[in-house]
Chain A
Amino acid sequence: MRYVVAKDSRDAVALLGETAGARVLAGGTDLLVQMKLSETGPALLVDIKRIPGMGDIIEEEGGFRIGAAVSGAEMGAHAALKAQWPGVVEAVELIGSAQVQGRATMVGNLCNASPAADSVPAMLAAAALARIEGPEGVRDVPVVELLAGPGKLHLADAELITSIFLPARVPQSADAYLRFIPRTEMDIAVVGAAVSLELDENGVIKAARVALGAVAPTARLVPEAENALVGTKLDASALAACAAASSAACAPIDDKRGTVEYRTKVAGVMATRAAKIAYIRAGGTL
């Protein structure tokens, strides 16, 4: 196994292109565990942590660009980011333990492509864009369009996600992420739900994005749940319609972590609870 520290992203792309089975190393909290379990490493590890800019959180066009090597702990310590996208940050902060938070990255969580990844529904609800560099150049793609299936993203060979862009927000808007796990920490989402809302001056929801995790092969947006919320002040009937739409959008599996029946029901519960948190954060009153 070869280990190379990439100088810049072009260097990283070149390295990824020249060796079959090369893997990108950022926080390594998924990759190192996989390597330990398989007892054989990839042919090449491309470390991107020292690429200039990769570890930065930058304000851009009123939003934030978060480098691929930024850890969860760094996002949690960034007051302005947290104020603007509290749901995204709380989702990232749920990944692993305090020790893992010091290493784990949001981009890594996306690239691991688990259907239960915590940050992915939050990025979907935030309409996040991924910046991708590859042999063909640089492109920006909505995160939702990258999701291909368990363990899979729509990335071409030698492509590298270098950052995530979270757009600017209008006043009276906020997001929230909630997950259900059978204990209180150190676990994997049985259901995850992210909601992002924009309110008008009267507290009526102008725009909503609802995303679910762990209930389908990939995280997914739920437009029917969004429609149920828009134009309401999150009254009981809006919440019930949001819950029903969220449950209806589920296509989960039965496994040791939860049954189809359970995940379907709890998806609605998590979505409405996340909606309430986002609504209050956006200045609404319930």
Chain B
Amino acid sequence: MKQDFKILGTRPIRPDGLEKVTGKAMFGADKSATGMLHARILRSPHAHAEIVSIDTSKAEALAGVKAVITGADFDEVENRWTRYTMQNCMAQGRALYDGHAVAAVAATSKKIAAEALKLIEVEYKTLPHVTDVDEAMRPGAPLVHEGVKGRKLGDDVSGNTVGYYSFGHGDIEAGFTKADKVIERNFKTAATHQGYIEPQACLADLGADGRGELWCSTQGHYMVREVCSEILGIDASQLRVTASEIGGGFGGKTTVFIEPVALKLSQKSGKPVKLVMSREEVFRATGPTMSASMDVKIGMDKNGKITAGHAKLRYQGGAFPYNMVMMGAMSAFACYDLENVQSEGWDVMTNRPKMISYRAPGAPMATYGVESVIDELCQKLGLDPIEVRLKNAAREGSKSSYGPTYKAIGLVEALEAAKAHPHYAAPLPANTGRGVACGFWFNFGGQVSVSMAINTDGTVNLIEGNPDIGGSRASISMMAAEALGIPFERVRTIVGDTASVGFSDVTDGSRVTFAVGIATINAAKAAIKELCKRAAMIWEIDAEAVEWVDGAAQPTGHNAGNFPPMSLAEIAATSGKTGGPIAGHHEGAPDKAGVSFGVHLVDVEVDPETGFTSIKRYTAFQDVGKAIHPAYVEGQIQGGAVQGIGWALSEEYIYGEDGRLQNPGFLDYRIPVASDLPMIDAVIIEVPNPGHPYGVRGCGETAIVPPLAAISNGVAQAIGKRLFELPMSPPKILKAL
């Protein structure tokens, strides 16, 4: 289904660029209101403690303080998952992790709010805590919550174990007996944070009449509306939520942390309330991703065929029940066409901040284990790592390890591109190693609404409901222009508030260019139908006798009538006289998001005297279906690779014996800086997704999946020893040497 496009695949200037580089763009903390109060949150210094009492009287008495709230101010929430979200925003009864919110203040200045926090007296009774996943899972471990143990789980695991999943097919034991070599390893990965530059921030205004306005930095303002209206007991229609420009999310802004608190303070004080998190609060109280402890066992015959694979994943997801290990278990072996495979996963709670999605949630760590063992097997059997992956690669028609049978996919194409790339053949200097790894991500469709207005000057306004975290306003404008047959510059796409367009799911799962794209194309079709109808009316011929070609209506043939094409602008100009405004809209839930695969090649150099690893060269190959705006696609691939580099080498949540987070800041939570990185070369592979009119697959998440293993495999080659724990910080590497 090779298609010729006029606009797709070009690189127009980004529509949000000027505002962002000139500082005009309005982010979460940039909005203010008359009479606005400033809020601050008091947080637990304990990993686990009973809140015996909270005395807010002194804070309330401080001049300038307009409202103080605690967990007692929130009503019971019926839905279990919403209740967890609410109790994560404000503790009720117990503080479950270092940094858990226990009270909040709104005052006339930030300084007064800060002083008021010091006047709140909280009496804690500390309780035993647990922060390590293996310890938390062991019977007898301190329980984070009672009565939430996963069904079907036995006495061999503690009540912190909230879920169990298993995927696979075939007979793994029989498969292992067919192998010439079987390797089983235990791996550990640290919790890492999404690391968005913009801390969570909001401005809330909730009146006594139950009508509210909320401005916030989020990946999904409809989600914010639903969760907040449920927690506050108000009608969804009465709470209008507007998503600000967003300074990064990476999955971390797919839930709420502060919005219900700000709304409650506003309700109590009768004033607009602004709440902005500090970086320390972001680290201590917003979701990092899960840490993991994993056993991976793979058998391979001497020709490189994988005979069986088995992964056991134990993920630590913080202080509330969650169900994300499933994604890890599903993705662990998803790159390969295997006869015998099983992946199991356990979701485990600990006294740490509640996990939230982070770019391909659950997949990078599972893939790290699997791709590391495959690499070790290749080394031991003397086989080329790309050839082995090609031999086992999933293709169209392969039954995936998690169930479905793949339609057209591009893993083989990506592997072939890597094999043929000059990078793979380049010589390796001393102390350098080259790592290879594959990665997979599902991608998602989900609910979507788009409204498109054709203006009388021939331009188009498009309203969609998904915050733009990776260039979607550009890609959606491009798809609208392509579908309508007009120049890109004539389309302006905006992200509407919750009152301006229909429901839209959260911006996650690399879904927006896919799902909003389909809705946009369908909205354009609806508008085109109307445009053709208006042309038919002007020409006084049947509407069925008009077709849309290159941005203009024309008769379907000479029999239909002999009229020159009438452009969108011409039809729109007279729309007031032909029946009124012309528009198109579409609401739906497209579900054929194509899965996406990537292959990463990395050269690392390890300083044998200090254990310092530097990334010397990095090339990432990824099937994206169709790159609408290739520059953004390359940016997504580069961004994912860089976050994976940080995860592999330097990023980690560090907890001491006291269960308190030791590095809540960018100094000691080490995200790579620009000088740590080479140019990441992104190689775009296009195997069209049959489930999208233009072949689009999601492209935002896959790129974070391979780097952990690719870098570990490179380090193993550089130093001749393999590490089984991330991050591979210099002390760990030097110790291994």
Contact = CB atoms under 8 A, between A and B. Distances in A.
Contacts of B610: 180, 266, 269
B735 A261 contact: yes
Contacts of B614: 184
Interface in A147-196: 180, 182-188, 190
A212 to B, nearest CB: 15
Given A183-B676, A266-B610, A39 B734 contact: no
Contacts of B111: 39
Interface stretch (B438-446, B665-673, B682-690): B665-673
Interface residues of B, number: 23
Nearest to A262: B731
A228 to B, nearest CB: 18
A256 interface: yes
Secondary structure of the A contact surface, majority rule? loop
A162 B614 CA distance: 41
Interface string B609-626: 111101000000000000
A187 B663 CA distance: 13
Given A187-B670, A188-B667, A256-B668, A180 B662 contact: no
Contacts of B79: none
Nearest to B733: A262
B650 interface: yes
Secondary structure of the B contact surface, majority rule? loop
Given A183-B672, A184-B675, A185-B673, A259 B731 contact: yes
B561 interface: no
Interface residues of A, number: 19
Q: Tell which of A258, A262, A269 has the most Cβ of chain B within 10 Å.
A: A262
B729 A183 contact: no
Contact of B650 (A39, A182, A258, A262): A182
A137 to B, nearest CB: 40
Contacts of A269: 609-610
A184 B611 CA distance: 14
Contacts of B667: 187-188
Nearest to B607: A269
Given A256-B654, A262-B731, A265-B734, A182 B670 contact: yes
B668 A185 contact: no
B341 to A, nearest CB: 37
A236 to B, nearest CB: 14
Interface in A66-95: none
B670 to A, nearest CB: 6
Contact of A39 (B114, B675, B676, B731): B114
A185 B676 CA distance: 8
A50 interface: no
Contacts of A258: 731
A184 B676 contact: yes
Nearest to A97: B673
A257 interface: yes
Please provide the 4 A-B residue pairs with the shortest distance between their CB atoms, ordered closest to farther. Answer: A262-B731, A184-B675, A269-B609, A39-B114
Interface of A: 39, 180, 182-188, 190, 256-259, 261-262, 265-266, 269
Given A39-B111, A182-B650, A184-B614, 19 more contacts: A180-B730, A182-B612, A182-B729, A182-B730, A183-B670, A183-B672, A184-B673, A184-B675, A184-B676, A187-B667, A190-B730, A256-B654, A256-B662, A261-B731, A262-B611, A262-B730, A262-B734, A262-B735, A269-B609
